[in-house]
Amino acid sequence: MDELRGFCVLKLILFNSIYMFYNAPAWLKHAQNSGGYYFADIGGPLFLFSAGLAYYLSLQKRLRSDGYDKTRNHFVRRSLVLIAFGMIGEWLIHGKIGLYWGTLPMIGLSTLITFPCIFLSNKMRVVTAFGILALWQLILNFAGYESSVIKHDDMGGILATLGWAPVMILALPISEFSKSVKERNAPFFSYLAGLTLVWLGFLAAFMLSVQFVPIRKLIVSSSYILFSLQLSIIALLFFEIKSRLRIAIPLLSTLGKNSLLIYMLSGINSLAIIHYFPAALPFKYVICIAVAHISLLTLLAKYLEHKHLYIKL
């Protein structure tokens, strides 16, 4: 789990190092509104997916030790803190107070929407997630909200959380299934078979949706979310197989242990990069900045790991 989160954070750090430069390759940035899918477009969904996997395990552990009321209060408080931190950060970026909606508020509100789904059956979680995603697509198509989403440029505004939250909700049954397989000491083949069936389900839903809705990250289209879920399952399978083969990537594990903090710092650092470096910087220097940025945050993550400091909201 740490390595999956670490991979996601590494990708997000890379994006926060280069997105502001004209000479950075387009495929390393987000696809434009015309459609398509670029390397950076998996960042948000994969982060939410890995958060959802951990969310289920963390919440179940707290329910056993603290009971429902304390657990609910903890997760609601954590979600509100994420929203507040994100809003304050956006105010600092824009230089004025306003209803700006970035990544952290999106994660916080997605967590709040996901919380009740913990207590549903897996079937109802799937139904709820697809119902919310369908509602969001209807809002885009028929409520004239698409132009408003595009103006937000990043996470699509508050309502667009209806598009993001299903990623976290659909991670819950996968996390529960993984936990069950490990507790029963079932053959790894059954785990692979189960995840493959889930992937095929997402593929079928994607093939249906893409007939009517193009892949567009900028408006958080349903086809974009479903395609991202397929890639997230593939990433999870890769890291699970690698773990079974006892192949470790310490860098990813280190970044994953403080994933949210490292991601937040990479966003803050990107503001310094924008301030001190020209947007037309030659690509060879862009690479140097990205390497230096990744190295700096990796050293910080390594220090925190060495001190056994795991900073979580």
Give yes or no for residue 199 having a pLDDT over 70.
yes
**What pLDDT digit, counting tens, does each position of 103-156 carry?**
888 899 999 999 999 999 999 999 999 999 999 999 888 876 666 665 555 677
Rounded CA separation 102/87 (Å): 7
Which class for 45: exposed (0-12), middle (13-18), buried (19 or more C-beta within 10 A)?
buried
**What pLDDT digit, counting tens, does each position of 38-49 carry?**
988 998 899 999
Give yes or no for residue 74 having a pLDDT over 70.
yes
Amino acid 94: pLDDT: 61
pTM of the predicted structure, to 2 decimals: 0.90
Amino acid 280: pLDDT: 93
Can you tell me which residue has the tokens 């209807």? 138
Give yes or no for residue 303 having a pLDDT over 70.
yes
Amino acid 248: pLDDT: 86
For CA atoms 46, 50, 104, 129, give the dihedral sign. Answer: positive
Mean pLDDT, the chain, rounded, equals 87
Average pLDDT estimate for 298-305: 94
- Who's near 83: CB < 8 A, 6+ residues apart? 104, 105, 108, 109
Q: Where are the domains of the chain?
A: 1-30+248-313, 33-64+109-246
Give yes or no for residue 51 having a pLDDT over 70.
yes
Rounded percentage of the chain residues whose pLDDT exceeds 70 = 92
Task: Check residues 151 and 15 and name the one with the higher pLDDT.
Answer: 15
